Amino acid sequence: GNSVTQMEGPVTLSEEAFLTINCTYTATGYPSLFWYVQYPGEGLQLLLKATKADDKGSNKGFEATYRKETTSFHLEKGSVQVSDSAVYFCALSDTGRRALTFGSGTRLQVQP
Amino acid sequence: DAGITQSPRYKITETGRQVTLMCHQTWSHSYMFWYRQDLGHGLRLIYYSAAADITDKGEVPDGYVVSRSKTENFPLTLESATRSQTSVYFCASSEGTSGTYTQYFGPGTRLTVL
């Protein structure tokens, strides 16, 4: 079945540091890939997505590239801010059920 | 306001009681989903629905019942609540025709079973 593996957290960075959160997946077919963000006490918000190999999703300074050869979708940001502190979830779509399979989430803490 | 809403936002109940969590969306999305979020597990799919009157089980359906008589509503019922069902529950919806299957999430319901 489908699965998503994310790096364990928490990840603690200083403001303006470079961020990478690793995500690898196992899936049949050609899933779409997503990063969702969850701020404290809130629901999940779509951060970015990619629908096919070599696509790059980007939003709010975050980027991730769909790498089919390495089955990865790593999240990066060049300079994090305190306001980026949240839990980040990598997910892939199930083309049959349309449901998402999520990784366990990575908590990011950015210190001023 | 347009969007996806859940009610109640917080609920405390006792073991053995029946509880219903409500989900309402205003986009007329075909697909709706229920997930539970537990520490260390991310989100896991409980049930999903492709359209009104069409529902199917996800990964962790035991102890839950759903219905979908109208496109906009997708209630989740715990028939006899257990402590292991203490969790945060998220409802989501997505368009039926979109190729990317982007899902939009409600704010969640935090359920505590004593």
Average of per-residue pLDDT across A45-72? 95
CA distance B17 to chain A (A): 26
B53 neighbors B2 (Cβ within 8 angstroms): no
Span B4-19, pLDDT tens digits: 999 999 999 999 999 9
B35, with CB counted inside 10 A (0-12, 13-18, 19+), is buried
Residue B2 has pLDDT above 70, yes or no: no
Residue B99 has pLDDT above 80, yes or no: no
Query: Residue B47's closest chain A neighbor by CA?
Result: A99
A60 neighbors A80 (Cβ within 8 angstroms): no
Say whether B105 and A43 touch across the interface (CB within 8 A): yes
Look at residue A28 in the predicted model and tell me its pLDDT. 84
| Residue B92 banded pLDDT, cuts 50, 70, 90 | very high
Say whether A43 and B56 touch across the interface (CB within 8 A): no
Look at residue B98 in the predicted model and tell me its pLDDT. 59
Residue B1 has pLDDT above 60, yes or no: no
A98 near B CB under 8 A: yes
Span B37-57, pLDDT tens digits: 998 778 999 999 999 999 999
